[in-house]
Amino acid sequence: MPSTPYYVTTPIYYVNDEPHLGHIYTTIAADVLARHHRLMNEDVFFLTGVDEHGQKVQQAAEAQNIQPIELADKVVSRYQQLWPELAITNTDFIRTSEPRHHQAVHAMWKKLCAAGAIYKDIYEGWYCVPCETFWTETQLNDAECLEDKKCPDCKRSVEKVQEESYFFRLSQYQEPLLEHIRNHPDFIAPESRRNEVLRFVESGLRDLSVSRTTFSWGVPVPDDDAHVIYVWIDALTNYLTVLGMPEHDQSPYWPADLHLIGKDILRFHAVYWPCMLMAADLPLPKRIFAHGWWTVEGEKMSKSKGNALRPSDLLAHYEADVLRYFLLREVPFGADGDFSYDALKMRYNSELANDIGNLLNRSLAMLKKYRNSIVPESQTEEACDRALIADVEAMQREVDQHLSKQAFHLAIERISIVVRHGNRYIEENTPWALAKDGNEARLNTVLYHLVEMLRLVAVQLHPFMPNKSLAMLEQILTINPENIHLNFHDVGGWGKVKAGDTCLAPTPIFPRME
């Protein structure tokens, strides 16, 4: 039976700059979901890639005296090297300079034209190159940005633009979009962002300028190559390109289950994109989640301050799994957060080294000491054993529920509850006293429960810390975990560890960070 498709995307990153913390954040989040859905045996398509076109990239290339495509090639190789280092398991990597993407953008444009949604006029207004956003004079004025000629969003300089342009009849889709958002409470998350979009759309949508004539780095308008297609129309279409759409009308992966984005690009995804899709008569994505922004040691990251956190620097000091864990544990997805080395060290030492690491070491050390690392048979269960099993089973259900709402921090917290339960279980059952008293039956049961609980914790942690999880499973199962078919059906569920299975002596997986 074909398995359920699950399609998750990240934004495609501009190639004007090297990857930084903000870029890895979304991609790690998407990877956790992709891995979790693979554990559920779903047919996962996980897309990331780069946005190579537009004035911003063209200007960045000019500043380095190279062609935009040369700049793109350079930055793309950084991303392509980075993703495996962070254990990212994307299915495809899209570059918007690829022929398949030009074709898709042309097909999209033609669909919009055929629907009567495109017309030619003169654009007169302002443009923010860093955001690749058009602003009207009134919008600048309302945001008190007209006098300083500043972008209402990023506060950098805007430039005056007057040129012939194609327009997309965005205004026509105001009511259908409002209706869709109102009828689909889960379409935009978190709730505060949904309200923000509702207010924006209710205040009235104006037609959108969708082509430029004063620079050339982009996809030309079909049959009118004095114009390049507005970079956001081009970029948003990437989500269809990889599925062979919109040339083909459908794909098992469309509509996407989830577009993960940062809060700054919400309007493009939650307003322009659905309206384009409606005009092209295509289904809308099921959900758009806008996460918050990271500051670094209390400061906004910026190129000018030179404080942008580079993944390569982070990876020189911390393992990928530790970064993945910290970024998703530290801050509720959707809220803004601050990255600090102290916070990372604190969380690592208390939650990973102390709680999980200790539990694994103590349990496997006792198994070795009392049973030569061979899993004993569980005997008569007592209330505390049944409570541990119930907690593990609730964890499995609740992690899934949290992840279906992108509440990564709650999912991790739910796993931690079991870990703390496990440590308490040891304190309460005092295996060393059972051994001393010769209470072999009870000792067997306690050791069995510890091993099986740890195994299921490792399975639940897998999407977050794939390498650490495999290292845990290796100690618990002593078989090459690469050979295990990691899905909940085969490895989830209490009781898969059998009496007679052999574990390894513990080797610390989370040594303390000094």
For ligand MSP, the binding residue among 254, 294, 326, 348 (CB under 6 A) is: 294
**Residue 14, Cβ density class (10 Å: 0-12 exposed, 13-18 middle, ≥19 buried):** buried
For ligand MSP, the binding residue among 153, 264, 381, 391 (CB under 6 A) is: 264
- Which residues between 297 and 316 bind ligand MSP (CB under 6 A)? 301
Interacting span for ligand MSP (CB under 6 A) from 22-30, 325-333, 416-424, 489-497: 22-30
Least distance between ligand MSP and beta carbon 128 (Å)? 12
For ligand MSP, the binding residue among 6, 8, 23, 363 (CB under 6 A) is: 23
Three-state secondary structure of 185-251: CCCEECHHHHHHHHHHHHCCCCCEECEECCCCCCCEECCEEEEEECHHHHHHCHHHHCCCCCCCCCC
Does the footprint of ligand MSP cover residue 218 (CB under 6 A)?
Answer: no
Interacting span for ligand MSP (CB under 6 A) from 7-15, 323-331, 347-355, 384-392: 7-15
Least distance between ligand MSP and beta carbon 398 (Å)? 27
Does the footprint of ligand MSP cover residue 256 (CB under 6 A)?
Answer: no
| Cβ(207)–Cβ(167) below 8 Å | yes
For ligand MSP, the binding residue among 6, 7, 8, 22 (CB under 6 A) is: 22
How far apart are alpha carbons 237 and 383 in whole angstroms? 56
> Residue 261 or 447: which CB sits closer to ligand MSP?
261
Q: Find the Cα–Cα–Cα–Cα dihedral 441, 446, 448, 452, rounded to 10°.
A: 160
Does the footprint of ligand MSP cover residue 12 (CB under 6 A)?
Answer: yes
Closest CA to 197 of 254, 263, 138: 263
For ligand MSP, the binding residue among 233, 236, 275, 458 (CB under 6 A) is: 236
Count of residues interacting with ligand MSP (CB under 6 A): 19
| Cβ(21)–Cβ(339) below 8 Å | yes
How far apart are alpha carbons 361 and 417 in whole angstroms? 18
- Which residues between 36 and 55 bind ligand MSP (CB under 6 A)? 51
Least distance between ligand MSP and beta carbon 89 (Å)? 19
> Residue 255 or 493: which CB sits closer to ligand MSP?
255
- Strands 258-262 and 288-291 come out as parallel
> Residue 238 or 469: which CB sits closer to ligand MSP?
238
User: Which residues have a Cβ under 8 Å from the Cβ of 220 and sit 6 or more positions away?
Assistant: 227, 228, 229
% helix, strand, coil for the chain, step of 5: 50, 15, 35
Q: What are phi and psi of 426, to 5 degrees?
A: -65, -45
Which residues are at the interface with ligand MSP (CB under 6 A)? 11-14, 22-23, 25-26, 51, 235-236, 238, 261-262, 264-265, 293-294, 301
